[in-house]
Amino acid sequence: MRTAKLESDDWVNGFLFVANRPILDFLNTRPVLAQEPTELLTDVHALERWLIASGIVHSPKMKGQLRSWRHSPEAALFLKDLLAFRERLRDAVLRLEAGSAPSDEFIQEVNDGLLKHPLAATLRKRDGGIIREPFFEFKRPSDLWTPFYNGVSDLISDPETQRIRRCEACVVHFFDTSKKGSRRWCSMNICGNRLKVAAYQRRKRDGHNSSPGCAGIVSAT
């Protein structure tokens, strides 16, 4: 992204949420800000804030557990491993966007993670019925792998992986949930309006109605 505006409604507590899938929002925690790739998950506290902002962690008990790990060496090691996994996920997503499949090695890694960190479920009443909700507890930082492996599993096994896209103007990825499947930008607030204005000015300058194009696409980093 050329310069993402942090005051946009698409940002929550310093993190971008435009992807329609938390696992893709996680992938987008290394955007390009002010012309430079910028790491948003700079430390364990930042990861804590992202997990809460994403809704993955929501109960007071879980939030308290996260706070207790802010200065934990084990949590710092988990974050280091998680960021390395994020870049392997990036390769898998780029493959899917190109119409290919993730590598066999990546699929095996996710399978191993699912076996080691399974996602449980609970039943509860809501609106006169009974619903089944995913559920996980963690007693140590490594237990946080559960939502990440399951999020990746859901993403790469989705029957509509062709809806996984990268913004035409920046490095942000998203899952297109529009009815026509024609979404082009990470966000109208961040890239859409800017490109529309640029296209309009270009048509006006050229003196004819050309199709709006994408100016200065930044490649993934």
205 burial level (CB within 10 Å; 0-12, 13-18, 19+): exposed
Q: Tell me if 20 sits within 8 A of 200, measured CB to CB.
A: no
> Would residue 217 count as lying in a domain?
no
DSSP 8-state symbol, 43 = S
Q: Residue 52 sits in which domain range? A: 11-206
> Would residue 114 count as lying in a domain?
yes
> Would residue 211 count as lying in a domain?
no
Give the domain CATH number at 89: 1.10.3300.10
pLDDT in tens, 110-151: 999 999 999 988 898 989 999 998 888 889 999 999 999 999
> Would residue 131 count as lying in a domain?
yes
- Percent of the chain topping pLDDT 70: 83
φ, ψ dihedrals at 37, nearest 5°: -60, 130
Give the global pTM: 0.82
> Would residue 171 count as lying in a domain?
yes
pLDDT in tens, 20-63: 999 999 999 999 887 788 999 999 999 999 999 999 998 899 99
How much is the mean pLDDT over the chain? 85
pLDDT band at 206 (very low <50, low <70, confident <90, very high): low
> Would residue 157 count as lying in a domain?
yes
Number of domains into which the chain is organized: 1
Contacting residues for 77 by C-beta, under 8 A, at least 6 apart: 141
> Would residue 214 count as lying in a domain?
no
pLDDT band at 204 (very low <50, low <70, confident <90, very high): low
